[in-house]
Structure 1
Amino acid sequence: MIRIVVLISGGGSNLQSLLDQCQAGILDAQIGAVISNRPDAFGLSRARQAGVKALTLDHTDFTERAAFDRALAELVDAQQPDLIVLAGFMRILTDDFVKQFAGKMINIHPSLLPLYPGLNTHQRALDAGDSKAGATVHFVTAELDGGPAIARVEVDITDQDNAESLARKVLTQEHKLYPAVVDWFVKGRLSLNNNQALLDDSPLPKGGCVLDTAAL
């Protein structure tokens, strides 16, 4: 069975969607550990409630980012993961960390990448006058939110939307998108080769395939 380690920094709602699907047998995988860089992250409580190992590595205990990443790599590696899932992990990872786990680490970002990497994605979409927003799952590389895209979901932006309402709409879709992509990896359908995301050995589009979450 595929073993997953989830990295979080906050509430862990995407973590919860993965926990639920694993417990329901929809995902044929085991979440072996949840690791947070913040001791007060609510996602740790979600893990404990699900009977999953909840670990903390407080980044404030380290004076250098590289030192934290080395310790994190050791902690992650000790869990023997087949897949590392970043679910609201608010740390920029060093090149060495990314290289160590290349091809088996994915992240979800609340924009239609390559648009709006980084923070404040929903307000930036509104300020740009975009008609759509969404979320993208991608392989993690050294470039911030710049790894090969795997899949995305889109939501309409209406005149009534603000950053908060748009964030809620996108997050609801993330909870469907992320487990679907993880399932591809679990079933051996998803891979990374020469910085290209492949599904069933076929290259995925540059921005990732668009999923209809209503069908999930």
Structure 2
Amino acid sequence: MQPYRIAVFASGSGSNFQAIVDCVQSKELDVSIELLVCDRPDALVVGRAIQANVPVFTFRPKEYASREAYEALILKELSDRKVDLIVMAGYMRIITNVLVEPFYGRMINIHPSLLPSFPGTKAITQAYEYGVKLTGVTVHFVDGGLDSGPIVAQRSIEIGEGESEAALTQRIHAIEHGLLPQVIDWLRAGRVSLEGRRVTVKEVE
């Protein structure tokens, strides 16, 4: 049986990437991490990938004429490795149709809020400063918009009275590290179906 091949896109420290690696190494997640794609060659996630023996494709966006130009190179890397699923795990770039069209329904992103509330960057800070009582984490399909794709899964948490933003951030990251590998496993097992904006996750028989 062919392995289920994933590529992870990340731009920063890579804690979600590490959570996936840990689940693979502990046999909790039966996938093959074929590639890390990173738009910052000096990002901490690159070191994590090297340590985990995951191939790395790095680039500097300013060295290309357009997003489409560097995404065409990324698409070739993905095609060469026969990647089944793209996992956006803290990748801070808008995706164009160069990747969206061939991978629609096979590209997910994790976002630290209950979408559609607080899309974009600094979502935890946005929610915290707005004063919401409930926030959480969303995993959604990528459609090329700003955190606008169909929602696969969400987990909510209450913000405690007097809780600091740092403490909230830590709790949200902990939820991310559990939810993202879980959704990857659902997709690997063929349990996720997408019709329009509605996503259905089949129960295990």
Matched, 1:124 2:126: yes
Q: How far apart are 1:42 and its partner, in Å?
A: 1.1
Do 1:123 and 1:162's aligned partners in 2 also have CA atoms closer than 8 Å?
no
| CA distance in 1 between partners of 2:77 and 2:63 (Å) | 15
Larger displacement relative to structure 2 (190-199 or 1-10)? 190-199
Partner of 1:115: 117
Matching residue's letter, 2:12 = G
Partner of 2:141: 139
Partner SS, residue 113 of structure 1:
coil
2:34 to 32, 35, 51: 32
TM-score (norm 2): 0.92
Partner of 2:17: 15
Once superposed, which parts of structure 1, at least 4 consecutive aligned residues long, lie more than 6 Å away? none
CA separation of 1:63/1:164 partners in 2, compared to 1, >3 Å: closer, same or farther? farther
Matching residue's letter, 2:101 = K
Partner of 2:194: 192
| CA distance in 2 between partners of 1:12 and 1:50 (Å) | 12
Q: How far apart are 1:89 and its partner, in Å?
A: 0.5
Do 1:14 and 1:174's aligned partners in 2 also have CA atoms closer than 8 Å?
yes
Do 2:100 and 2:144's aligned partners in 1 also have CA atoms closer than 8 Å?
yes
Matching residue's letter, 2:135 = A
| CA distance in 2 between partners of 1:167 and 1:92 (Å) | 23
In percent, how many aligned pairs have the same letter? Answer: 38
Q: How far apart are 1:147 and its partner, in Å?
A: 0.6
Partner of 1:175: 177
Matching residue's letter, 1:109 = H
Matching residue's letter, 1:62 = Y
User: How many pairs align?
Assistant: 201
| CA distance in 1 between partners of 2:18 and 2:168 (Å) | 20
2:55 to 45, 49, 53: 53
Q: How far apart are 1:178 and its partner, in Å?
A: 0.6
Partner SS, residue 140 of structure 2:
strand
Partner of 1:210: none
Matching residue's letter, 1:121 = A
Q: How far apart are 1:194 and its partner, in Å?
A: 3.3
Q: How far apart are 1:129 and its partner, in Å?
A: 1.8
Do 2:143 and 2:149's aligned partners in 1 also have CA atoms closer than 8 Å?
yes
Do 2:5 and 2:31's aligned partners in 1 also have CA atoms closer than 8 Å?
yes
| CA distance in 2 between partners of 1:172 and 1:126 (Å) | 17
Do 1:112 and 1:134's aligned partners in 2 also have CA atoms closer than 8 Å?
yes
Partner SS, residue 89 of structure 1:
coil
Partner of 1:204: none
Partner of 1:148: 150
Partner of 1:103: 105
| CA distance in 2 between partners of 1:187 and 1:54 (Å) | 26
TM-score (norm 1): 0.87
Do 2:11 and 2:92's aligned partners in 1 also have CA atoms closer than 8 Å?
yes
| CA distance in 1 between partners of 2:90 and 2:84 (Å) | 19
| CA distance in 2 between partners of 1:185 and 1:165 (Å) | 31
| CA distance in 2 between partners of 1:39 and 1:107 (Å) | 21
Matching residue's letter, 1:194 = G
Partner SS, residue 69 of structure 2:
helix
Q: How far apart are 1:182 and its partner, in Å?
A: 0.7
| CA distance in 2 between partners of 1:115 and 1:48 (Å) | 35
Do 1:140 and 1:147's aligned partners in 2 also have CA atoms closer than 8 Å?
yes
